C-alpha cells in the first residue's frame, strides 16, 4: 500500500534531520575511528526508507552504493532502481510433469542474485516427493543426493517465493521494510530491515532467508548488474528473498528470470498475467493448475501445473 505523501510535513523533516544529526555525531564519535569512512557509514545509517526517497536522494543513494560495491568487489557495479512497468503483473508457472530435480535453477539463481556462498543461501528449494503419495510436504526429501536424477518413483517440486497477492510476510513487518510492488513482486529494502525475522515465521513457503553472518560472495562470482530491491549485495543481519530476478524482468527489453533461462527441460514458464496472449495465461487457461497451500488464502502468483 503506498504511503501518503502528506504523512510528514516539511517542518517535521527538518527537525528530524537535525535530531538525527545530533545522534549521528554521538554515534560517530563512539563507533568510528576513521574519519573518511564515517561519512559513508552515517549516510547509510540515516538513509530513509526506499519509498520515502525523493528522486535526487535516490540518485545519491544509488551512487553511494555503486561506489561502495565497486570498491568492495573491484569491478564496476551498477545499482539500478528501475520502477515497475505499467500494465504488468508477473506470474510464474512450474510444470511438475517435466521437472527432473536437477537443481540447475537453484545454482543459476545463486549466481544471478549474488546470494551468499558461505553460508549458502538458496531461494529455490527442490523437494523430492514420492509419486505414490503426491504433494505431501511432511514426507518431502530436501537433501536428496543421488548420482543421477530423476529417481524412479519420484517427482520433483521446486518451491520459491510465490509472490502472493495477499502476502502474509509484508503484513507482519513491524517497520514496513518489505512490501508488494505494483507489478506483484514482493521486495525487501535491505537498508531498512531490522532483522526481526517475523516475516520468516509468517511465510508459508519458506521463501525468506536470513543473513546469519556476513554473506560470503567471492569477487569473481559477483554479478555486477544489480537492482536496489533485488540482487545487490546484502548486508549482514537482514532478510532476503526471490524477486523474480527484478533486475532482469524490469529491464527494457525484459529478460527471463535466471531459473527460467537455465531449466533444461522447459519446466519453468514466466510472463505477464495481464497479457491475454502470454504463455503463462495459456498455461493457466489450458492446463491442470494448482497453487500450494490454497487454504491459506495467500493467492500465490506461482502456479504448478501438469502439461503432460
27 versus 284: smaller Cβ distance to other proteins: 27
Sequence-distant (≥ 6) Cβ neighbours of residue 242 within 8 angstroms: 109, 113, 123, 124, 160, 161, 163, 207
What is the C-alpha separation between 35 and 191, in angstroms, rounded?
22
Among 171, 182, 288, 299, contact with other proteins (rule: CB under 8 A): 171
Among 29, 194, 264, 266, contact with other proteins (rule: CB under 8 A): 194
Question: Rounded to the nearest 5 degrees, what angle is found at the Cα of 51, between the Cα atoms of 46 and 54?
Answer: 75
C-alpha torsion sign, points 76, 82, 88, 91: positive
Residue 80 lies near other proteins (rule: CB under 8 A): no
Among 107, 144, 198, 282, contact with other proteins (rule: CB under 8 A): 198
75 versus 171: smaller Cβ distance to other proteins: 171
State the minimum distance, in angstroms, from the CB of residue 39 to other proteins: 17
Which alpha helices (DSSP H) does 74-209 contain, by range? 104-113, 168-172, 198-202
Residue 137 lies near other proteins (rule: CB under 8 A): yes
Quick one: which of 81, 109, 137 has its CA closest to 242? 109
Residue 162 lies near other proteins (rule: CB under 8 A): no
Q: 168 exposed, middle or buried (CB, 10 Å; 0-12, 13-18, 19+)?
A: middle
Residue 38 lies near other proteins (rule: CB under 8 A): no
| Interacting positions 142-161 with other proteins (CB under 8 A) | 142, 159
Residue 18 lies near other proteins (rule: CB under 8 A): no
State the minimum distance, in angstroms, from the CB of residue 134 to other proteins: 13
Residue 40 lies near other proteins (rule: CB under 8 A): no
Quick one: which of 78, 77, 105 has its CA closest to 257? 105
Which alpha helices (DSSP H) does 85-206 contain, by range? 104-113, 168-172, 198-202
Residue 222 lies near other proteins (rule: CB under 8 A): no
**Interacting stretch for other proteins, rule CB under 8 A, among 64-72, 165-173, 224-232, 273-281?**
165-173
* Chain Cα centroid distance, residue 301: 14
* Residues contributing to the site for other proteins (CB under 8 A): 3, 8, 12, 16, 19-20, 23, 45, 49, 52, 119, 125, 127, 136-140, 142, 159, 168, 171-177, 192-198, 200-206, 208-214, 235-239, 296-297
Amino acid at each position: 500500500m503506498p504511503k501518503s505523501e502528506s504523512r510528514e510535513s516539511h517542518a517535521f523533516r527538518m527537525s528530524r534531520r537535525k535530531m538525527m544529526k545530533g545522534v549521528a555525531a554521538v554515534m560517530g564519535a563512539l563507533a568510528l575511528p576513521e574519519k573518511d569512512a564515517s561519512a559513508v557509514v552515517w549516510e547509510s545509517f540515516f538513509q530513509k526508507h526506499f519509498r520515502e526517497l525523493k528522486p535526487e536522494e535516490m540518485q545519491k543513494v544509488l551512487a553511494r552504493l555503486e561506489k561502495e560495491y565497486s570498491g568492495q568487489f573491484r569491478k564496476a557495479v551498477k545499482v539500478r532502481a528501475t520502477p515497475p512497468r505499467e500494465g504488468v503483473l508477473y506470474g510464474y508457472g512450474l510444470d511438475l510433469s517435466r521437472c527432473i530435480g536437477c537443481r540447475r535453477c537453484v545454482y543459476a539463481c545463486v549466481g544471478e542474485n549474488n546470494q551468499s556462498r558461505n553460508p549458502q543461501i538458496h531461494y529455490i528449494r527442490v523437494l523430492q516427493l514420492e509419486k505414490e503419495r503426491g504433494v505431501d510436504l511432511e514426507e518431502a526429501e530436501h537433501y536428496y543426493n543421488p548420482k543421477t536424477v530423476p529417481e524412479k518413483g519420484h517427482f520433483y517440486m521446486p518451491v520459491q517465493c510465490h509472490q502472493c497477492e495477499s502476502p502474509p510476510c509484508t503484513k507482519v513487518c513491524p517497520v514496513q521494510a518489505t512490501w508488494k510492488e505494483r507489478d506483484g513482486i514482493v521486495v525487501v529494502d535491505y537498508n531498512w530491515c531490522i532483522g526481526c525475522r517475523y516475516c520468516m515465521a509468517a511465510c508459508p513457503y519458506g521463501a525468506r532467508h536470513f543473513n546469519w553472518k556476513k554473506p560470503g560472495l567471492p569477487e569473481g562470482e559477483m554479478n555486477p548488474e544489480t537492482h536496489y530491491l533485488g540482487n545487490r549485495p546484502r548486508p549482514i543481519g537482514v532478510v532476503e528473498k526471490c524477486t523474480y530476478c527484478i533486475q532482469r524482468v524490469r529491464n527494457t527489453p525484459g529478460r527471463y528470470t535466471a531459473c527460467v533461462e537455465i531449466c533444461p527441460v522447459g519446466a519453468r514458464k514466466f510472463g505477464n498475467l495481464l497479457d491475454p496472449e502470454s504463455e503463462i495465461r495459456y498455461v493457466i487457461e489450458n492446463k491442470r493448475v494448482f497453487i500450494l497451500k490454497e487454504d491459506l488464502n495467500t493467492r500465490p502468483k506461482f502456479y504448478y501445473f501438469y502439461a503432460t
